[in-house]
Chains A and B, each alone.
Chain A
């Protein structure tokens, strides 16, 4: 029994001409886990997936499948299930023929008998719940049905690993949610190592056992959904996952100074003095009605179950976003123009890396003087 990781990437880099798609990516994917590669487009996530499948080659680095180097193994020999973003169904074949394709092109000595192929295809179609659509052609199917056919086709060759490229990207919101849940159930049933690529944070957080956040060809963070959302390890992940307020501050004597807001819980390292940025989620911005408060409510928008407020700090143009559940908001009923006080329930500090003193803007200077 192989006990190591199902897939292992070691220092994988890939360039397209001047564009660096992947830059020294190292990653271990555990057998049986459901892993999401999450990142904005251009972050290299699809390239990474295609390298695992054998559809692209790394310039440098190594790829191990089941403990063995697979870089030199061709795509045909890898036996990997791959679901393409736009499904790439064979449009001239029926659903049944599509799913049977991988079995029918096997070398004669491994190819199952025609009867067995048919039985296996039907079983697969039943598994993905489209047993009744076998005679249809891809053009006659809905997006969700096509997705299921693509999945059944990929599973037909009994792959060791299942790779999905933006599996729900081309579907409308409702179908997407439904299929997402169904894929999770299917994965739990088959317990097959599964990697999917997405740019949709909600999808990654809801579906995956672990999330790999990619940015500009590098891995920014790897962790469970709770970890990457709750404790982003760097500003990129903070920005990419969920909405966030970025608040400039000065760190002095082990604490960041924001004159108009009280910080309840500070994350990050405030040991170095100098300019920094606080990352505050909108739902961590707490407001209280206060006629002498430093901030003004500028805009109140009710978006279904949540209420979004824009807060303008006195004398400052930049706007803070606050978010609170509708039922909480009902107790306050802030109106535009009202004065409020501000608390940050939780804020994460990242010191500015490059900013030297010469880069201080007039705004920074005024901030400095205000805090003295």
Chain B
């Protein structure tokens, strides 16, 4: 009998049996050990004849492979799954498939021309570049904000915590015109910045600002719960072992937060790449300079260049799906990381 199984056994038994079982396991081990030494014995422990003491190795739910059709007394599986699949198919899947089918119907050179024109490449570069810059900025300030909100108490903390959700809830067009008014050359922030020679509105920097705005809650809300659940003991242990506060943060806290941080940044990035409403007002939309990829799709549509619009859209969609996959993997990693710690 493996000593490792003791805990499993104990969990299943009434507490008052625990002592007894622990001792039996011990005896078993001793019995076999001495038997192996080959000393002259008059008594040995019988091996557990039918495995009565073995733990449940086959707990029913542990390694069940699921069936397509569960049998349960809870009613309504067929009906609800049917409606779910039908609605999902009609609203989401068929239209998305239609987009790819349309893209596939373009001939290859047409497709390549559409997605490799200078204007499209510039737009994609801006969308991805600004999104990455914004996501990384949010990685720094979002973590800082999450840390401050979770660890410190200060007046107005709960209000600030609630405000972090504003970019989720505020319609993007509203955010767009408001940020533009703020950062325009006569705006509250634009004027002093212009005096310093920094132009924000109607430049790529404006795109960056808008994307920071919409990405912030993703990072904060992904890190917050992990930071909250971080056991105090690990920090205390680090301190007891002589680590300075800085060492504790760098070597203990940051590594435990990293998967959540990566997930949050990926979410913010994915959202930023597709963002439209909050960006187009502040961007200025100069072709080759401050024109984002989603806007280009709209422009192509308005020019009735459906093929080109579809080509650009399918490339962006493909990239989003790859990122979705990456985020799923990150989240799985993050969860496993949490369970381990």
* Chain A residues within 8 Å of B, Cβ to Cβ: 16-19, 21, 40-42, 47, 54-57, 74-75, 199-200, 202, 215-216, 234-236, 239-240, 243, 246-248, 258-260, 277, 294, 313-321, 350, 352-353, 361-364, 366-367, 370
Contact = CB atoms under 8 A, between A and B. Distances in A.
Most chain-B CB neighbours within 10 Å: which of A202, A362, A363, A367?
A: A363
Contacts of A18: 58, 63
A99 B56 CA distance: 36
B30 A362 contact: no
A258 to B, nearest CB: 7
B35 A363 contact: yes
B33 A277 contact: no
Contacts of A21: 60
Which 10 A-B pairs rank lowest in CB-CB distance, beginning with the nearest? Answer: A42-B56, A317-B34, A239-B52, A363-B44, A277-B46, A363-B35, A19-B58, A16-B60, A246-B46, A316-B43
Given A41-B12, A317-B33, A318-B34, A260 B63 contact: no
B69 interface: no
Nearest to A169: B14
Contacts of B51: 216
Contacts of A362: 35, 38
B309 to A, nearest CB: 49
B284 to A, nearest CB: 54
Given A317-B30, A318-B30, A236 B40 contact: no
Contact of B42 (A55, A260, A350): A260
A313 B52 contact: no
A21 B61 CA distance: 11
Given A199-B13, A247-B46, 8 more contacts: A314-B42, A316-B44, A317-B33, A318-B41, A318-B44, A319-B27, A363-B41, A366-B40
A317 B43 CA distance: 8
Contacts of B118: none
Contacts of A75: 73
A315 B40 contact: yes
Nearest to A361: B35
B65 interface: yes
Interface in B39-55: 39-46, 48-53
Nearest to B39: A315
Contact of B52 (A16, A55, A240): A240
A236 B60 contact: no
Contacts of B40: 315, 366, 370
Most chain-A CB neighbours within 10 Å: which of B30, B33, B41, B61?
A: B41
Nearest to A275: B46
How many interface residues does chain B have, given as a range? 35 or more
A366 to B, nearest CB: 5
B340 interface: no
Contacts of B48: 239
Contact of A366 (B27, B41, B52, B56): B41
Interface in B181-227: none
Contacts of B73: 54-56, 74-75
A277 to B, nearest CB: 4
B60 A19 contact: yes
A319 B27 CA distance: 7
A42 B58 contact: yes
Most chain-A CB neighbours within 10 Å: which of B12, B49, B56?
A: B49
Given A75-B73, A240-B52, A319-B30, A313 B43 contact: yes
B26 to A, nearest CB: 9
A226 B214 CA distance: 72
Nearest to A215: B52
A362 B41 CA distance: 9
Contact of A235 (B33, B42, B50, B64): B50
10 contacts: A16-B60, A18-B63, A19-B63, A215-B52, A239-B48, A239-B52, A317-B41, A362-B35, A362-B38, A370-B42
A315 B29 CA distance: 17
A17 B46 contact: no
B45 A248 contact: yes
A153 to B, nearest CB: 18
A354 to B, nearest CB: 9
A277 B60 CA distance: 32
Interface in B42-101: 42-46, 48-53, 56, 58-61, 63-65, 71, 73
Contact of A318 (B31, B61, B63, B65): B31
B33 to A, nearest CB: 7
B20 interface: yes
Contacts of A350: 49
B49 A352 contact: yes
Given A247-B43, A319-B30, A370-B42, A40 B49 contact: no
Nearest to A321: B23
A258 B43 contact: yes
A319 B61 CA distance: 37
Contacts of B30: 317-319
Contacts of B46: 246-248, 277, 352
Nearest to B12: A41
Contacts of A246: 45-46
B70 to A, nearest CB: 12
A211 to B, nearest CB: 16
B41 A315 contact: yes
Contacts of A57: 71
